[in-house]
Amino acid sequence: MFRKKCSLNLKEFFDELVELKNSGEQAKLSADQLEYFNPIDRVKLAKIKKQVERIHALKYSSRKKYRLYKSKKSFDGRRGYLLGLVFERLVQTIFKESLVFSLQPRVLLDTCEIDFFVHIIEPYNVLFSLLASHKRLHGEAKCHARSPEAEWVNLQAGKMVANDTRLGMIFTFHKPAPAPFEFRTAIKDHSRSNPPVQIIPWGPTLINELLDGKSFLKLIQIQSNLAHAGTASMQL
């Protein structure tokens, strides 16, 4: 009983941090506290990542013995469907146990469909400068083998403005590489437009960094800074 009365629990500590932040002071979280806010099942994530890679690598065979689908078209359709399904699970794994995010997949609105609609949970969002002024995040998944295109960014920015969302993420899955010039320029331009729309690109390089033990909340903060600056060193 003594311990319960006289000790500080983690919730009280976080509440006090929020109060400190709201009063204009600095409130920094340690690496393990960051991870506690958004824990990730890395074993599961690695497993799903491998599944995505395997589906990506599948090729249509015209030989009758190996042919499961009548035509390449039906094979591609099936592969695309599976890829979407598994990639969705991969993104859900990142947000699943978070204390600051609550994810809803495939949200159908009057005007468009959103792949991932993420609510940013208050009051702990104020502890992260990226999330402090946002209430929701618009996520789009683009699981194509080809490199990211500026068109995806423009399309998403349009949807975000229509839905009054200012923070977004594009989840891509291709070979790890630096972000192409047109792609990062489009992101940078939208972040400086009126109204500003902040889109954070997320690719396999960052998934690898997550698997290496880095914190998701820290990674998105760094990636958003790089995206806003449009630097060539931004990796996907």
Partner 1 sequence: MVGSLSLPAIRNIYKALVGIETIPQDKNNKETIQKLIEHCGVPHDQVTELLFESEIEKPFRHIFLSRWIGKFKKIIDSKDQIKQLQLDVRNISGISNLNCDYVKVEQERVVFTFSHDASSTHWYWQDGGHFPELITIRHPIIIHFHQNGSLLITYPGFTSERGKEQNLEYYDLVSLVLNSIQELTSIDYRPYAIKKVVETLLKRQSARVNFIRIKSGNDQGAVDLQSKSNDLSIENLLPSLMVPYLPKGITEEQVKTALINAINDCDLRYSNLYWKEEEVATKLSYYELGMEFLVTWSRQDPSFDLITPILEFLIFLSQKFESSNSNVLNFFIDEKNSRVFTKGEIASSISVNSKELDKELVGLVSQRILETRYRLRTNKVVLDYENKWTSSLLELRRYFELEDHSSFDGTIPENIEIGFIFPDVQKEVFLES
Q: Which residues of this chain interact with partner 1, rule CB under 8 A? A: 1-14, 16-17, 19-20, 25-28, 30, 32-33, 35-36, 39, 97, 99
Instruction: Enter the DSSP assignment of 22.
Output: H
Q: Name the burial class of residue 208, with classes exposed (0-12), middle (13-18) and buried (19+) by CB atoms within 10 angstroms of its CB.
A: middle
CA distance 189 to 175: 25
Closest by Cα among 123, 202, 136, 146 to 167:
136
Q: How far apart are CA 204 and CA 53, in angstroms?
A: 10
Indicate the residue among 100 and 160 with the shorter CB distance to partner 1: 100
Contact between residue 204 and residue 236 where contact means Cβ atoms under 8 Å apart:
yes
Is the Cβ of residue 10 or residue 43 nearer to partner 1 in the bound state?
A: 10
Closest contact distance (angstroms) between CB of 10 and partner 1 is 4
Comparing CB distances to partner 1, the nearer of 80 and 196 is: 196
Q: How far is the CB of 186 from partner 1 (least distance, A)?
A: 14
Using the minimum distance from each CB to partner 1, give the nearer residue, 36 or 75: 36
Cβ 218 to partner 1, closest distance in Å?
Answer: 12
Least gap, CB of 63 to partner 1 (angstroms):
49
Tokens of 182: 């047109």
